[in-house]
Amino acid sequence: MYKRLLLATDGSAHAARAAEAAIGLMKELPGAEMTIIHVSDEAPSRSELMQAGLDMKAVLEADAHKAIEETERRFQQAEVPFTLKVAFGNPADVIVEWSQKEHADMIIIGSRGLNAVSEVIMGSVSRKVLHHANCPVLVVKR
Ligand SMILES: Nc1ncnc2c1ncn2[C@@H]1O[C@H](COP(=O)(O)OP(=O)(O)OP(=O)(O)O)[C@@H](O)[C@H]1O
Ligand SMILES: [Mg+2]
């Protein structure tokens, strides 16, 4: 039933807990595939782009590796293979679009993210994903 899992991460402590849940699920679901998605919501700077020979994907990938290094390391340590998907845009829109296009069976996401300053239970990205996704969403609270 759950074959194609999608972990959304911004590299925050909350998302790290979602990553642990994702690793645990992968261990219990033989044959399942994991995609980790990280969406940049800031356009790369001009100098970054120039340095990369105008290769937007390379810049996004470098930024993603920086932001979610620890998560990638945890997956490697746990020997759970994954595919990294990087994109630029509105995080919730990109996450939902990708999940639909690639027929994800479950989205795993933290309840809050990098901006967890207020007392609100869910951040705007997790709220929007939960609202618009057409597959089960695991919101990891703690
Ligand atoms: N840019 C992103 N790329 C991938 N996943 C993301 C991104 N931003 C947030 N997420 C996912 O959504 C979860 C909740 O983060 P969210 O951004 O909604 O909360 P927040 O940062 O506390 O609040 P807000 O951003 O609304 O001010 C994160 O734990 C992560 O799983
Ligand atoms: Mg956020």
- Per-residue pLDDT of the chain (142 residues), as tens digits, is 899 999 999 999 999 999 999 999 999 999 999 999 999 998 888 998 999 898 999 999 999 999 999 999 999 999 999 999 999 999 999 999 999 999 999 999 999 999 999 999 999 999 999 999 999 999 999 8
Q: Are 41 and 91 in contact (CB under 8 A)?
A: yes
Task: Name residues whose C-beta falls within 8 Å of residue 58's C-beta, 6 or more positions apart in sequence.
Answer: 52
**Cβ(12) to ligand 1 under 6 A?**
yes
pLDDT at 130: 98
Q: Calculate helix-pair angle for 91-101, 124-132, nearest 10 degrees.
A: 30
Return left, alpha or beta for 71; rule: phi > 0 is left, psi -120 to 50 is alpha, else beta: alpha
- Domains of the chain and CATH, by start: 4-42+68-140 (3.40.50.620)
CB of residue 110 inside a 6 A radius of ligand 1:
yes
Ligand 2 mean position to 10 CA, how many Å?
Answer: 7
> Which ligand has its closest atom nearest to the C-alpha of 92?
1
pLDDT for position 142? 85
8 A C-beta contact, residue 98 and residue 87 = yes
Residue among 131, 65, 132, 130 at smallest CA distance from 141? 130
Distance 126 CA to ligand 1 centre (A): 6
Q: What is the value of pTM for the model shown?
A: 0.96
What residues are paired with 33 via a beta bridge? Answer: 4
Strand pairing class (33-40; 106-110):
unpaired
Terminus-to-terminus CA distance in the chain, angstroms?
Answer: 25
> Is any ligand 1 atom within 6 A of the Cβ of residue 114?
yes
Taking the C-alpha atoms of residue 42 and residue 34, their distance in angstroms, rounded to an integer, is 25
User: Is any ligand 1 atom within 6 A of the Cβ of residue 83?
Assistant: no
| Ligand 1 contact, 107 CB (< 6 A) | no
Of 17, 36, 126, which is best to mutate to test ligand 1, by the most ligand atoms within 8 angstroms of its C-beta?
A: 126
Question: What distance in angstroms lies between residue 77's CA and the mean position of ligand 2's atoms?
Answer: 26
Instruction: Return the pLDDT at 14.
Output: 97
Strand order in the sheet with 33-40: 83-88, 33-40, 4-8, 106-110, 137-140
Q: Provide the pLDDT for residue 43.
A: 86
